[in-house]
Structures are given as structure tokens and as C-alpha cells.
Structure 1
Amino acid sequence: MKEYIITIDGGTTNTRCILWGSGQRRIDEERRAVGVRNTSIDGSNSKLKQAVRECIEQLLERNGVAYDQIHRIIGSGMITSDVGLVVVPWITAPAGVKELAANIAEISLPDICPIPICFIPGIKNGEGPFDFDNIEAMDIMRGEEVESVAILDRFPPGKPMLFILPGSHNKFVSVDREGKITGCLTSISGELLASITNDTIIAKSVNREFVSQENYDREWVLKGYEIASRAGLGRACFTARILMLFYDNDPKKLANYILGATIAGDMQAVRNSTALKVDKDTLAVVGGKEPLRTAVADVLKYDGYFREVETFCPEGDIPLSARGAYIVARETGIL
């Protein structure tokens, strides 16, 4: 009897596979520190293919499962891109669970596994043509669409929402009253934070350390946000050195200050970008890991643009991407 499902979530630096039993029951997980970044560096996706193959085989062997017991293998994320396993075209917003399900691509990759893999497409904001007058309205996602589906499962349609998914690339996903994704906005503020923390003159001020959940300091986050909003990120960051020399040299506080400063540009983008469809009545829902989740939520509340701000913490140890992929596959009737 084919009673098992495997979901594959491929990102920039990591690949994760989860084995599911009946009734959306998570059984086991296997991951590798290999992602599409390796493809970009090597010019070949052979390492990525090997990582996915090893993850699947390890899951099956460890749990005494054979391929003929696998009902479906479902893939999502950057593995559907030109630096992934296969290229699956984006679908165009607005799009929800039904549209994602209708555009799943079932592709055989025998050098990975003997079962076809069902790939969930990403979503793009528009079709074009584009030029400098409208290019800022364009954005793309691969992986965040299934994360958004998982969050939507907890926040039923009925009001417009903005999902904030902090990470190395902060992603903002707007959703309409019908539960369809209407667009997204991406920033590299997470990468900027990493660069400022490790590779600038500010590294000494923050002791090359990021904010931990235990050392989170709302006051200093908001001070960084305030100064960056007023004077810009570059000036706000150098002010961290001034603070160290003339006010308070606690690297933990200064790391919080820098965190707030890097968030400021994203708040400006959300208010002014043409990539999103949001207004003051949009419910802002902040996901991601701590302390980024709390920091972004605190800044949003302090900023005051959105009347409602909530945080989203996933239940249990099932990743949003895997849960969302399962929901999309279930919509197709293949589960």
C-alpha cells in the first residue's frame, strides 16, 4: 500500500526532505548543507542532485520504507529554478492554493529516484514588459508561496494580509480577501546585516555577533530604526561606532541597534513600493525565527502604519514550507 509522502524543500544553502505518514503525520527528516548556491558556484547541479538522492534514500532506509510504498514526492523552493533540479515556470499573481495546485509539474528524474517528483511552481508579480518606469513593481518568489499557504491555513481569508518572512532575504507577501497572493517584495536586508556585522568597521562595535533571543533589546532596536529612518542606513551604522566610543560600548546593545537600523529600509519599502498591495487596514503577520520575528513586529507596531500586527509561530517542528507543500498537493487530489 502506498501510504507515505516525501516533501523536498530546496533553498539557497540547505536541502531538507521530510517523510510523512497518513493523516499529515511527520515521521522523520533528513537534510544536507547543500543548496542552489552550490550550483551557482560549480556551474553544475550534481551536488544538489546527490544531496536530494541521499536524503530520500536515508529516510527510506532508516524507516524501513520501500519506494513502492511512496505515494508521492513533492518538491518546492529554489529547486524549481534555473540553478535547481528543474526549471518550473512561475505562475503570475494573483494566485492561491488552487492555482498553485493546478500548475504542479510532475517530472521524472531517474538519477535521483525512480518516482516522478511533483514540483510546485513559484509566483511572480506580473508579466511585463518592464522598463525603469515599472520594474520596481516586479518581484519573484520560490518557496515563500508554500510558506504563505501554511500561514493562510491559520489565518482564514476575509481580510487583506501582509506576511513578513524575515531571513537572509526578507520577503513580504501580500494576500487579498479571497486568500490569493497578490504580490511580493524582497529585500537583502538580512545579507546587509551579516555584512555589517562581520565585514565592516562596525564589526568591532558588535563583537561580530548577531542578536540572540536572550539578548534582544527592544529599546536599542527602535533607536536604530529611528536613526536609520531619519538619516539613512549608512549614517545609522557608523553612529554605532560613535555610540561605542562616546555613550555605551556594550556590543549586545549595539548589535540590537544595528538590527533595528537594517529593518528601517524594509519599512520604507513596504509603505512606498509598487510591488505590494497593502494599506493601513491590512493585517500584518510576522513569521520567521526569533529574535527577528519579535524585532520586526516591534518595529511595525512602533512605526504605526498598520493598525493590526500579529506574530505567527508554527506549531510543532514541521517547517512552514513542508506544511504548505502538503496543503497544495492535497488540493490537487493526488494525496
Structure 2
Amino acid sequence: MSRYVITIDAGTTNTRVHLFDQDFALIASASRPVGVRNTAIDGNSEKLRAAVRDCVRELLEGAALTGAQLQCVLASGMITSNVGLYELPHVAAPAGVDELAAGAKSVLLEDVCPTPIWFIPGVKNFTTPVDTGNFERMDMMRGEEAECLPLIESHRGELPLLLVLPGSHTKFVGVGADGRISACVTSITGELLDVITKNTIIADAVGHGFVTAQSYDRDMVLLGRRTAERVGLGRACFAGRILSQFTQNDAEKIANFILGAVLQNDAAALLGSSALRAGRDATVVVTGKEPLRQAIADVLRDTGAFAQVREERPSDGAPLAALGARMVAQRLGLL
């Protein structure tokens, strides 16, 4: 009898569930615009539980399967946080597939899934107490560690690595010569860009819109980066309004300028963070969709501080988080 695998990736605002066959070929996907943000707001996990339950049911019914035909169900992301469905402690770096497998736990949530779910833990930078002397070195992630595993495997010949995972919270992940995650750094650049674009006086200058793959303008992005490096983010953003008023009445170009100004924050984080200081000589691999992937790569190259910056285009097959979950499952002997 064929056996199937379900992976669950639940984040802050979205839940994504995927169904794979025994060869890990993607059969179908389901998603809901629900995440741990809803749990934090409501004070309970009912919406998240319902989102996961409905996605699992949708996939099983759509493929005419029963729970008995599932070989395993794997979950990563914020679903393992205190506002998720089952809290797991972070694994401390350095951490790779062995450490993640050792920290994983199987839990039966009968109102969510007909078979036990294997929850995969997140990673934090260290275990010692955090104080005002070392807090900047501390960081953590839930979900990105699973995304990192297949990236590490595909770039094993280029270790050490610095992986860049863009998003509302962009993660910068150091990978040592041993192929394990050594540390991570988080920025809220995506959220800052959203606020500036929609809820400040700059919104008019950018036409309340973001840069698209078609409107990407490298020169304007780098002009924004260099301006922010010189005068800071606040002044650079207002300089975008000055450009729109006096020299460049083109909302798409100003949006590119603002994107570069905001992404300079990421460059500064990488250059200034004590957690990833050793990663400057590593091969930088930037993932994600255009134009953010291209913009981050161009900004990091423009600093001149990184030896090699490469772009990793998303594949059309299984998502990185699912591929990473599969690697953990294989280490556990589930597949």
C-alpha cells in the first residue's frame, strides 16, 4: 500500500500544508490566512487548530485518502512556539539535522490530525543567560531552520555559508564549516517597508505600492542604500519625498529608492552584528522571490564587504521547509 506524507508550515500569519506521495512528489497543497498572530490576539489557539485541521482534511479528502495511509505528519515553524499548537524548546546552535531530530517530538492532537504530528524545534544562538552585555548576540528562529537544511545540503561544497531568507522578518543564518547552523540574526525590514509604504508621508511618493519584478530598478535601489548608509534611514526616506517633488516624479523609481534605503538596514545588521561577524568571508546565498531576492543580493554586493553573493531561485517543487522536514524525518527513521 502506498504511504503518504503531510508537512505543516505554520507561521505568524499563514498556515501552509502539503501532501506528498511516497517518493516525496508534491500531490496537493492547502493554506489558510491564519497563524500564531491569531493565537496571540485571541488568547487561545482555536483558529490555528481549525486552520490546520481544515487543511489536513481538505488534502486527505481531495486525494481520497484516510489517516491510516499517512506514513508521517511533520510540522515546523511558529506552530512549535508558546502561541502555537505544541511548544518545543529551541535547540541551541550549533545545530544541524541530528540536533533537530533529537529535539523533535511526536504528539497526537486528535482534534487536529488523525495521526500523530512530529513537531520540529526551532534554533536559538546560545543557552547562557541573556543580559544587557550579550543580548545583541542572541537570536532565534522557528521554521527557517527547516528551510536551511536543504540549502546547506545543496551548497555543502561551499561551506561556510551565510543564508539570507527574506520576509516580513528576514533571517540571516550562519552555517559553519561542519554544515551546522552556527547563529542567526533577524531584522524586521519587511515590516518597516510595509509601514513606510502604506502609513507614512512617503506613501504618496511611492504610489502606495511596492516594487515588482517588472519595475525593479537596480540603480535607484543602490542610490537608496548609499543614501541611508550616509544619512540614516529616516532622512533617506524623506529624501525619497524630495526626489519625487523636485527631480523624479515616478512612483516606481521612488519605491525602488525606498526599498534600497530600507535594505541598508540589513547590510548594517550583517556588518555590525557580533553574532555573525565570522560569516563575512562565507559564501552568501540569498533565497526568495523577485524582486526582494535580487534587491538584497545587489545591496550586499554593493557594500563590497562580502566575498561572494549568490541568488537561489525557488524551485517549482516542494517548498524548502517541507524538504527540510523530510530530512529530519529520514534521520528519525520515519521515511
TM-score normalised by L of structure 2? 0.98
Show the counterpart of 2:6.
Answer: 6
Which residues in structure 2 correspond to 1:44-193 (within 5 Å)? 44-157=44-157, 159-193=159-193
- Deviation at residue 333 of structure 1 after TM alignment: 1.2
Q: Is the 8 A contact 2:2 2:22 kept in 1?
A: no
Show the counterpart of 1:267.
Answer: 267
For the aligned residues, what is the CA RMSD?
1.1
Q: Is the 8 A contact 1:160 1:282 kept in 2?
A: yes
Helix, strand or coil: the match of 2:208?
A: coil
- Deviation at residue 156 of structure 1 after TM alignment: 1.2
Letter in 2 for 1:146: A
Helix, strand or coil: the match of 1:29?
A: strand
Taking the aligned partners of 2:236 and 2:248, their CA distance within structure 1 comes to 15
Taking the aligned partners of 2:217 and 2:12, their CA distance within structure 1 comes to 30
Taking the aligned partners of 1:40 and 1:295, their CA distance within structure 2 comes to 32
- Deviation at residue 131 of structure 1 after TM alignment: 1.0
Letter in 2 for 1:98: D
Show the counterpart of 2:292.
Answer: 292
Greater Cα offset, 277-286 or 64-73: 277-286
Greater Cα offset, 19-28 or 232-241: 19-28
Taking the aligned partners of 1:77 and 1:307, their CA distance within structure 2 comes to 31
Distance 1:232 1:80, change over 3 A: same
- Deviation at residue 112 of structure 1 after TM alignment: 0.8
Letter in 1 for 2:62: R
Show the counterpart of 2:222.
Answer: 222
Taking the aligned partners of 1:252 and 1:121, their CA distance within structure 2 comes to 41
Helix, strand or coil: the match of 2:281?
A: coil
- Deviation at residue 246 of structure 1 after TM alignment: 1.1
Q: Is the 8 A contact 1:157 1:178 kept in 2?
A: no
Helix, strand or coil: the match of 1:74?
A: strand
Helix, strand or coil: the match of 2:146?
A: helix
Q: Is the 8 A contact 1:36 1:78 kept in 2?
A: yes
Taking the aligned partners of 1:204 and 1:113, their CA distance within structure 2 comes to 47
Taking the aligned partners of 2:322 and 2:125, their CA distance within structure 1 comes to 23
Distance 1:212 1:158, change over 3 A: closer
Q: Is the 8 A contact 2:6 2:20 kept in 1?
A: yes
* 1:327 maps onto 2:327 in alignment: yes
Letter in 2 for 1:172: F
Q: Could you list the runs of 4 or more consecutive aligned residues of structure 1 that deviate by over 6 angstroms after TM superposition?
A: none
- Deviation at residue 271 of structure 1 after TM alignment: 1.0
Helix, strand or coil: the match of 1:112?
A: coil
Helix, strand or coil: the match of 1:98?
A: helix
Unaligned runs of 5+ residues in structure 2 are: none
Helix, strand or coil: the match of 2:306?
A: coil
Q: Is the 8 A contact 2:174 2:279 kept in 1?
A: no
Q: Is the 8 A contact 1:162 1:278 kept in 2?
A: no
- Deviation at residue 2 of structure 1 after TM alignment: 5.8
Taking the aligned partners of 2:314 and 2:99, their CA distance within structure 1 comes to 24
Helix, strand or coil: the match of 2:154?
A: coil
- Deviation at residue 159 of structure 1 after TM alignment: 2.0
- Deviation at residue 329 of structure 1 after TM alignment: 1.1
Helix, strand or coil: the match of 2:75?
A: strand
Taking the aligned partners of 1:71 and 1:293, their CA distance within structure 2 comes to 35
Helix, strand or coil: the match of 1:207?
A: coil
Greater Cα offset, 158-167 or 4-13: 158-167
Show the counterpart of 2:207.
Answer: 207
* 1:256 maps onto 2:256 in alignment: yes
User: What are the Cα deviations for residues 191-231 of structure 1, in whole angstroms up to 9, with x where unaligned?
Assistant: 00000000000000001000000000000000000000110
Helix, strand or coil: the match of 1:115?
A: coil
Taking the aligned partners of 1:63 and 1:77, their CA distance within structure 2 comes to 25
Helix, strand or coil: the match of 1:153?
A: helix
Taking the aligned partners of 1:277 and 1:323, their CA distance within structure 2 comes to 29
Letter in 1 for 2:74: I
Identity, % of aligned positions = 50
- Deviation at residue 128 of structure 1 after TM alignment: 2.1
Q: Is the 8 A contact 1:157 1:177 kept in 2?
A: no
Show the counterpart of 2:38.
Answer: 38
Letter in 1 for 2:207: N
Distance 1:158 1:298, change over 3 A: closer
- Deviation at residue 158 of structure 1 after TM alignment: 5.1
- Deviation at residue 308 of structure 1 after TM alignment: 0.6
- Deviation at residue 317 of structure 1 after TM alignment: 3.5
Q: How many residues align?
A: 335
TM-score normalised by L of structure 1? 0.98
